[in-house]
Amino acid sequence: MNKLNNIKRGLFALTMCLSLSLCGCGNTEQTEGTGTSSAESQQSADVSEEVIIDYGDAESFESALNEGKNLEGKVVRFVAGEFHPDSKLGYDVWAGEHLNFVSSRNPDIKEGDTVTVRTTTVENMMGSWVINYEKVENAVVGDDTITYSKPKETTAAKTTEKPKTTTTAKETEKEDIKTETSAPDEPAEKDTYEHNKYYDIVETASFKNSIGYTIVIHKVLAKQNVSVSATLLAYGADNSVIGKSSDDIVLTEGQYNFFRYSFEGDVSNASIQANANAKSDSFMTGERNVVEMVQYNLSGDDLYITLQQTGDEIGAFAKFKLLFYKGDQIVDTEDGYFNIYAENLNGKGSTDVAKIWAYGTDFDRIEYIYEP
């Protein structure tokens, strides 16, 4: 009997040893497999794909837009300017001179933040660029990243003389403004970029802004209620194109307005090819003569403009435009949408004050223009 019990105990011990041995092997394999998976995940995280930035600052990005390039889908890094969460465009982050990065959700961006985004849509609205975007993480500057480089120092034009308008050797001078044919017994109406049935250019100026761009201003007196799109092409001495800039304005008969062109380099000695197209007001054009300037004053570096609503409704894209004068010379310009700068204008007779940063601008008077 004892012998039989000993045999049973031996078989039981052997069975237990085999079971423990098999469990140990299984645990080892599982541990090794888990370790491998964890290592692979860590390696994958370490080598996540980096995104190369296409434009390293707002200035280079805006310059490319002004040159007519399609920049949808491009990656841009910029320093955020003013943040306007209540804009009718959405959550609006300003950058550059006329860049509006807009989102339907709060992007959690503060003024001064460095932001990297990928553009999804880019649209020009009344001279400003409205950009929808998505934020980009893990973005880096690459060899092909474009950044703004300050132009070589040149003497900017200091007078209000009009840039040269000449016909190049290739007969590039052409005027695209459409006019109706006059009756045979009527004198032919002028049909040039400077003088036509829509407006007359009454004053011109050129100067350099704070980032070294050459700004060209053509002030006009309107003859009709009409919208005008205009473009300047700048040609060098060898007839090669050295710059291009466009602007869209809405004219009100009998009132002043101005075209504003921006060139990255110096075009004071360039030959200029100009053309313009008049077109009917778009659905975005609102009522004319709705807001007037009551007064303005300068306090420190800030210009305060008191505005009063004189009409029933301000268009969604209506804006004010300012010409800064020093003596009889135009030295700077500014513009802004009423729904951003003067959101308290909410009915006929209401007033509000627009605040403009005028740091570094030496002027002694301003001229106010309402653009619907």
**pLDDT at residue 248 in the model:** 94
The amino acid at 1:
M
Burial of 301 (0-12, 13-18, 19+ CB in 10 A): exposed
Give me the tens of pLDDT residue by residue for the chain, a chain 372 residues long. Answer: 444 445 455 545 545 544 444 444 444 444 444 444 444 444 444 445 889 999 999 989 998 898 888 999 999 999 998 888 888 788 999 998 889 999 999 999 998 899 999 999 998 876 789 999 999 988 999 999 998 754 433 333 333 333 444 433 333 333 343 333 334 444 445 789 999 999 999 999 999 887 888 999 999 999 999 999 999 999 999 999 999 999 999 999 999 999 999 998 888 889 999 999 998 887 778 899 999 999 999 999 999 999 999 999 999 899 999 999 999 999 999 999 999 999 999 999 999 999 999 988 999 999 999 999
**pLDDT at residue 313 in the model:** 92
Q: Measuring CA to CA, which residue among 267, 278, 259, 241 is closest to residue 321?
A: 259
Class for domain 154-181+188-282, per CATH? mainly beta
DSSP state for residue 237 in the 8-state scheme = T
Query: From CA 325, how far away is CA 310, in angstroms rounded?
Result: 26
**pLDDT at residue 352 in the model:** 97
**pLDDT at residue 306 in the model:** 98
pTM: 0.55
Q: Which helix (H) or strand (E) holds 23?
A: helix 2-46
| Residue 365 half-sphere exposure toward CB, CA atoms < 13 A | 4
Architecture of the 51-146 domain: Beta Barrel (2.40)
8 Å CB contact between 249 and 258: yes
**Domain boundaries defined on the chain:** 51-146, 154-181+188-282, 291-371
**pLDDT at residue 353 in the model:** 97
Buried b (16+ CB within 10 A) or exposed e, 93-108: bbbbbbbbbbbeeebe
Sign of CA dihedral 193, 194, 200, 206: positive
**pLDDT at residue 186 in the model:** 44
Token reading at 308? 């009063």
